[in-house]
Amino acid sequence: MAIEKFEAGKQFAAHLTATDPLGSYRDRFHIPKKRDGSHAVYLCGHSLGLQPKSARAYVEQEMKDWEQLGVEGHFQARNPWMPYHELLTASTARLVGAKPDEVVVMNSLTVNLHLLMATFYRPSTERHKILIETNAFPSDRYAVASQIRFHGYDPADSLIEMSPRAGETNIRIEDIEALGQAEGERIALILFPGVNYYSGQAFDCDRITKAGHAKGCVVGFDMAHGAGNLALKLHEWDVDFAAWCSYKYLNSGPGGIAGCFVNERHARDTGLTRFAGWWGHDKESRFRMGPDFQAIASAEGWQLSNPSILALAALRASMDIFDEAGMDRLRAKSERLTGYLEYLLKQNGSNRFQPVTSSDPAQRGAQLSLRISTNGRKVCDQLAGAGIICDWREPDIMRVAPVPLYNSFMDVYCFAEEFFRAIGS
Ligand SMILES: *Cc1c(COP(=O)(O)O)cnc(C)c1O
């Protein structure tokens, strides 16, 4: 993509906003309001996505069917609850670049990571290590360390945490490859994020997967910040497994139901070791209630329980919008929107902040993280007071995420204006 020339000034922001081909999608979402009733500038979709206006009707349909049908709703609801999760399969597969039998929505993210590791982390004396990054999201680190202990190993020996080079904020892909080359034969599992939650670095999942597979490692990804943000190709990249939450870029609401990818090479193998539950049992014979588990020969075979229909309904509202807009178009807008934010920030000579997210569009998603060494939290609070919603991560990072579905170029402009005021004061 040719690098677009941006201009400073509010008029140019208005021009970009008026000519944005995806601009109308903003009207499909509830934008939080400031005290005076005007719209806030919401740049926090990396933490909790906004509510699609259609979500209420999707949820109310199920409330109504429950009210009127009781248990019969499992088969007689307008969208029968028994196979309700299947309504999300096609759109989820499109979103992450998977085949339909490679994806399932279920549980929450950390739960899914554990369930997938129950299958895909099978340590042996020769090969027991897990490779993650030093600044992994705490829940992921807790999960892998506890898996290592569960198998009788010690994280001090079995957990490799990879850091950027001294003085750098992003991990270089060639360093990941070199580590794979040197240590790969002892690594059972590589678990990397699609996008690091803190630095905003997007990783080259294709190359990481190839490097891991070359040494016989299983390669999984936490796509919490990747799903709905990047144009993923999980099948083509030959990723072994992935999991993500849906309340961030996927707008499913607080605590919404999560997603999983299991490569069809594994998904079809009903003999794989797993933690089983009745919802993963072969659909034809599930209600014979027999004693022996027979896995569904797809990602659905990792399901445990019948899922929350209300949570699925809210997610459907958002996934239908993603299907309409298309991830490729959203990613194209996202690159422009984040590029415009970066451009505006560069107009200011202040040395009170430094972007830590890569300046290479291929190595970032919708988020720019700004390091503010002194009084950063005050800056963030001051912005919040002015109705600009970002977030603060200790010790010194402000995360700003212009989301292509509902943020406008004008949002980005208003943020920059208020940010410069706050940083100058
Ligand atoms: C948001 C996030 C989580 C949150 O985990 P839940 O199980 O959904 O509470 C975990 N890991 C990463 C990388 C995240 O970004």
Is the pLDDT reported for residue 288 higher than 90? Answer: no
Q: What is the pLDDT of residue 1?
A: 53
Residue 348 pLDDT grade (very low, low, confident, very high; cuts 50, 70, 90)? confident
Distance CA 19, CA 9 (A): 16
Closest approach atom of ligand 1 to CA 197: 15
Q: What is the pLDDT of residue 40?
A: 97
Q: What is the pLDDT of residue 84?
A: 98
Q: Which fold has domain 10-30+327-424?
A: Aspartate Aminotransferase, domain 1 (3.90.1150)
**Model confidence, pTM:** 0.97
User: Once rounded to an integer, what is the mean pLDDT over residues 17-32?
Assistant: 98
- For the Cβ of 54 lying below 6 angstroms from any atom of ligand 1, the answer is no
Residue 2 pLDDT grade (very low, low, confident, very high; cuts 50, 70, 90)? low
Between 374 and 110, residue with greater pLDDT: 110
Distance CA 165, CA 179 (A): 13
Q: Which of 114, 116, 117, 137 to mutate to test the pocket of ligand 1 (most atoms within 8 A of CB)?
A: 137
Report the amino acid identity of residue 196: N
Q: Whose CA is closest to atom 13 on ligand 1?
A: 137
Extended beta strands in 116-198, E state = 129-133, 159-162, 187-193
Q: What is the pLDDT of residue 330?
A: 98
Q: What is the pLDDT of residue 339?
A: 97
Distance CA 209, CA 191 (A): 10
For the segment 377-395, what is each residue's pLDDT rounded down to a tens digit? 999 999 999 999 999 999 9
User: Once rounded to an integer, what is the mean pLDDT over residues 273-280?
Assistant: 97
CATH classification code of 60-323: 3.40.640.10
223 Cα: distance to centroid of ligand 1 (angstroms): 9
Q: What is the pLDDT of residue 103?
A: 98
Is the pLDDT reported for residue 349 higher than 90? Answer: no
For the segment 220-266, what is each residue's pLDDT rounded down to a tens digit? 999 999 999 999 999 999 999 999 999 999 999 999 999 999 999 99
Q: What is the pLDDT of residue 92?
A: 98
Residue ranges covered by each domain of the chain: 10-30+327-424, 60-323
Residue 280 pLDDT grade (very low, low, confident, very high; cuts 50, 70, 90)? very high
18 Cα: distance to centroid of ligand 1 (angstroms): 35
- For the Cβ of 244 lying below 6 angstroms from any atom of ligand 1, the answer is no
Percent of the chain with pLDDT over 90: 94
- For the Cβ of 110 lying below 6 angstroms from any atom of ligand 1, the answer is yes
Q: Whose CA is closest to atom 2 on ligand 1?
A: 224
- For the Cβ of 325 lying below 6 angstroms from any atom of ligand 1, the answer is no
- For the Cβ of 266 lying below 6 angstroms from any atom of ligand 1, the answer is no
Residue 418 pLDDT grade (very low, low, confident, very high; cuts 50, 70, 90)? very high
| Mean pLDDT of the chain, nearest integer | 96
Outline where 224-308 has alpha helix (H): 264-267
Q: What is the pLDDT of residue 344?
A: 96
- For the Cβ of 193 lying below 6 angstroms from any atom of ligand 1, the answer is yes
Residue 45, judged by CB atoms within 10 A of its CB (0-12, 13-18, 19+), counts as buried
Outline where 105-164 has alpha helix (H): 109-120, 138-150, 155-158
73 Cα: distance to centroid of ligand 1 (angstroms): 32
If one counts every other C-beta atom within 10 angstroms of the C-beta of residue 1, the result is 9
Q: What is the pLDDT of residue 190?
A: 98
User: Once rounded to an integer, what is the mean pLDDT over residues 11-33?
Assistant: 98
Q: Which of 245, 246, 250, 399 to mutate to test the pocket of ligand 1 (most atoms within 8 A of CB)?
A: 245
Q: What is the pLDDT of residue 290?
A: 87
For the segment 117-173, what is each residue's pLDDT rounded down to a tens digit? 999 999 999 999 999 999 899 999 999 999 999 999 999 999 999 999 999 999 999
For the segment 109-121, what is each residue's pLDDT rounded down to a tens digit? 999 999 999 999 9
For the segment 89-108, what is each residue's pLDDT rounded down to a tens digit? 999 999 999 999 999 999 99
315 Cα: distance to centroid of ligand 1 (angstroms): 17
For residue 307, CA distances in Å to 53, 301, 310 come to: 23, 14, 9
